[in-house]
């Protein structure tokens, strides 16, 4: 089974700050990685697919990079509406989700 780790588990940043979240897979998953945003009471919303592709309609301040086992998710300029939990997910072999990163405004 493929395991996913994420860091940090939570962060607090100011509006306008650059925010970076890391995700690591336990084995090579090529670029089969999604990034999701989830707000309370809602299903996850896809932001990035195939590690670095921005989903249609998602603001360009969100971006992703990486391949193999190490991936990065970035919010270039944090906005109040970005308060949420962010998950990475591998789909190279079934699904595995990272434990999530809770993002707050300082």
Partner 1 sequence: EVQLVESGGGLVQPGGSLRLSCAASGFTFSSYSINWVRQAPGKGLEWVSYISSSSSTIDYADSVKGRFTISRDNGKNSLYLQMNSLRAEDTAVYYCTFGRGHWGQGTLVTVSS
Q: Which residues bind partner 1 (CB under 8 A)?
A: 34, 36, 38, 43-46, 49, 55, 87, 89, 94-100
Q: Which is nearer to partner 1, 60 or 94 (CB)?
A: 94
Question: Whole-number minimum distance, CB 3 to partner 1, in Å?
Answer: 12
State which residue, 1 or 16, has the beta carbon closest to partner 1. Answer: 1
CA distances (Å), origin 59, targets 5, 8, 40, 47, 85 = 25, 23, 20, 9, 17
């Amino acid at each position: 089974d493929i395991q996913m780790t994420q860091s940090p588990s939570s962060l607090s940043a100011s509006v306008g700050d650059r925010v970076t979240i890391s995700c690591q897979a336990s084995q090579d998953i090529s670029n089969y990685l999604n990034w999701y945003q989830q707000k309370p009471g809602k299903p996850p919303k896809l932001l990035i697919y195939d590690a670095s592709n921005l989903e249609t309609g998602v603001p360009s301040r969100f971006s992703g990079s990486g391949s193999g086992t190490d991936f990065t998710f970035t919010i270039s300029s944090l906005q109040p509406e970005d308060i949420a939990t962010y998950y990475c997910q591998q789909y190279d072999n079934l699904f595995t989700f990272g434990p999530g990163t809770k993002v707050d405004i300082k």
